[in-house]
Structure 1
């Protein structure tokens, strides 16, 4: 009996030690990605009723899922660094939104647990700051037909996966049978964020060469678009800065891209768009948001464009950031 008690005590010490290490690692993490879905509820039409959220590493999106179906916490996967967070609407909209953070700790695991409306208001961690509306938000993908941006209204199936490591947190989304303007392709997006960085690295790959694949930045009235190329002309950015948040404060947004991958920059109905050249090889670009309320953040337009120019110089020199 005494021996069993000793063994039990040793096991408890071992468990507490491992548990303490895991808690410590979570507190020390500088990036995080997740996707959280409901279980033990039921579908009624295209709404998911009841159930509780559970984090998963991967999923096939339910055929019933659409905007505001309530089956996926904050409507899609989220990823964050110690600077900023993002989320992808995993439905026909396929837009990317920004979670502004006022803390440098990981917060996504606490977001949206009490409903869809709460994160649109300021909380101790921050808030959803971008009104995407009918746009792509920041750095998402659509297809421009010369008049409008076609979203992901017709897709046979969608798969999402999240991965976390000390070097980055990643979200990978695979779309099977994306139909637009008479074409049907498979498409993949990989979104990666690194510690200490605001930008997301977005690598896209189409199964077929088609015209009009695009990304962009939501456009707001009276907010100017700024464009700049690197010294070697291989990289460039488009950017906006001003009072363009749901909280009525200052936000900078930018996309860095390789000039030889883009055919044109145009103004769409809701976005400043970059139209990619048709390709089946992977294409990589970077997008970011910089909110004035971010901890030790960028608070002026001059600071923002100096920051962008520094990143552009890195791309000019190394071809990556």
Structure 2
């Protein structure tokens, strides 16, 4: 009997070791070096190849991506490069994830999430496919995507695309809030150069994230220029509204990358004087602000955890996000 018990214990021990040695990686991704999220509720990802960027080999992946605290973007970094994972930094919480392109486009994009876990550090380059975790759900093109910063001047929209230097820095990651700062030096808009800082944050439990744009202390945008943002015109109309001291633009419809139901919204406090203006590519929210502005952008998808399926429910979520 003693020998039998010893044999059983030995067998159970071997099974436990064998099971414990298998790494958990549901997406099968080998391209990223996973940061330790622990019990974090949010994360900021700035995943870069260890090697210097080479324009002649923009898709080269020479080893794991490394989480960086700060990087100055190479002036020749093109769209569709693989030097930066996801082509730019990501903010993620338990509800949603967003990114912006690190190259000259500087537009915001959306990752719909079907699970509450922090997963973006395990996602491969196949993020356009609908997976168990979710998918990239927005086609941005030359529009403002969702919530991209811009300047409105002489009836034209200028994105933050042409600058001398662009530095991206992870200010905070993990816990209840994560934040990424982007500093634009020598940003050229309408023939004028300026410096602008973008602080971008996300908090646990929210479907929205927040953008704070500001000039150096005591400096304003040149005469006639105003800060702006917007929503890509995948649908012909947006609904405007006011709630809890915020003005907002929103829409709902089959506008996701996969032609599924998706809602998008931008919102800002009335003190910034937001004004709805139509543009060829985007539904604009133009602010009566020349030194600083704070606004929020928000997206939900019919497959995500909100289970939103119509404009009425999305409107309730948007107005709740202004509290």
The question of a shared fold, defined as TM-score above 0.5 by the shorter chain, is answered with yes
Deviations 1:224-279 (A, max 9, x none): 30001236xx4211101111101211111111112231353211111111112242
Q: How many residues are matched?
A: 282
Tell me what 1:218 maps to: 232
- CA offsets, 1:23-44, max 9 Å, x none? 9x83532211111111236514
- Answering whether residue 118 of structure 2 is matched by residue 106 of structure 1, we say yes
CA distance in 2, matches of 1:46, 1:159: 22
SS of match in other structure, 1:303: helix
Alignment partner for residue 315 of structure 2, among 292, 298, 305? 305
The verdict on how the C-alpha distance between 1:153 and 1:166 changes in structure 2, with shifts beyond 3 A counting, is closer
2:41 corresponds to which of 30, 39, 42: 30
Contact 1:80–1:108 (CA<8 Å) still a contact in 2? Answer: yes
Residues 265, 297 of structure 2: 8 Å contact kept: yes
C-alpha distance in structure 2 between counterparts of 1:160 and 1:54, whole Å: 15
Pairwise CA distance, 1:167: 2.2
Which deviates further from its counterpart, 65-74 or 183-192?
65-74
Preserved contact between residue 61 and residue 83 of structure 2 (Cα < 8 Å): no
Give the deviation of 1:296 after TM superposition.
4.3
User: Which position in structure 1 is the counterpart of 2:210?
Assistant: 201
Match in the other structure for 1:289: 299
* CA drift at 1:81: 1.0
Kept after mapping to 1: 8 A contact 2:300/2:306: no
204-213 or 181-190, larger mean C-alpha shift: 204-213
CA contact (8 A) 1:262 1:274 kept: no
1:308: Cα distance to partner? 1.9
- Partner SS for 1:69: coil
Instruction: Kindly report the root-mean-square deviation, in angstroms, between the aligned alpha carbons of the 2 structures.
Output: 2.0
CA pair 226-296 structure 1, distance change in 2 beyond 3 A: closer
1:203, CA displacement in angstroms?
0.8
Aligned pairs for 1:30-69 within 5 A: 30-40=41-51, 43-45=54-56, 47=58, 49-52=60-63, 53-69=65-81
Does structure 1 residue 255 correspond to structure 2 residue 266? yes
In structure 1, how many angstroms separate the alpha carbons of the residues matched to 2:53 and 2:235?
Answer: 42
Give the 3 Å change call, closer, same or farther, for CA 87–262 of structure 1 in structure 2. same
Question: Which structure shows the higher helix fraction?
Answer: 1
Does residue 189 in structure 1 map to residue 203 in structure 2? no
Q: 2:241 aligns with which of 225, 228, 232?
A: 228
The aligned residue for residue 30 of structure 2 is none
Range 157-166 or range 205-214, more displaced: 205-214
Give structure 1 stretches of 5+ with no counterpart: 1-22, 315-321
CA distance in structure 2 between the partners assigned to 1:228 and 1:172 by the alignment: 30
Taking structure 1 as reference, are residues 154 and 296 closer, same or farther at Cα in structure 2, changes over 3 Å only?
closer
Go from structure 1 to structure 2 and tell me whether the alpha carbon gap of 1:26 and 1:42 turns closer, same or farther (over 3 Å shift). closer
Q: CA distance change for structure 1 residues 204 and 44 in 2, over 3 Å: closer, same or farther?
A: closer
Q: Distance in 2 between matches of 1:66 and 1:142?
A: 20
Task: Tell me if the contact between 1:41 and 1:51 (Cα under 8 Å) persists in the aligned partners.
Answer: no
The answer to whether the Cα contact below 8 Å between 2:235 and 2:255 also exists between their aligned partners in 1 is no
Judge conservation of contact 1:263–1:275 (CA < 8 Å) in 2: yes
After superposition, the Cα gap between the structure-2 partners of 1:64 and 1:109, relative to the gap in structure 1 and judged at 3 Å, is same
- Give 5+ residue unaligned stretches, structure 2: 1-33
